[in-house]
Structure 1
Amino acid sequence: MVTVTQMKCACESCLCIVDLNSAIQKEGKSYCSQACADGHPAGSEGCGHEGCTCHQ
């Protein structure tokens, strides 16, 4: 049996891999940051992680 402990952030344009134990959970999906979980309000870019310029 394999237990998944990490997966890609649910934000489509985000490159981050999140640890499921510390991920921000919203509507059954796992996100690496609050900005991603909130859908990048007001056109915000990035999640605060180096090199990632995700957006919604």
Structure 2
Amino acid sequence: MTTNLVRCDCPPCTCSIEEATAAMYGNKLFCSEACATAHINQEPSNSAEHTECSCGC
């Protein structure tokens, strides 16, 4: 089985995520619910594997 990695659609985010496990909103894919909702409460993502992200993940 192959893994299809895509880049998170949160503009400042640098995360690459598996398409199958991404948080999808509309036609966009995000690494977390926090990125998908634009970090409205300044919350980090809930994924420990995305520690290099410039948006706080």
Q: TM tier, shorter chain?
A: 0.7 to 0.9
Unaligned runs of 5+ in 1: none
Match of residue 35 from structure 1? 34
Q: Runs ≥4 in structure 1, deviation > 3 angstroms?
A: none
Unaligned runs of 5+ in 2: none
Is the radius of gyration larger for structure 1 or structure 2?
1
- Given that 1:24 and 1:31 are in contact with CA atoms closer than 8 Å, whether structure 2 keeps it comes out as yes
Match of residue 11 from structure 1? 10
In the comparison of the two structures, how many residue pairs are matched?
Answer: 51
TM-score (norm 1): 0.73
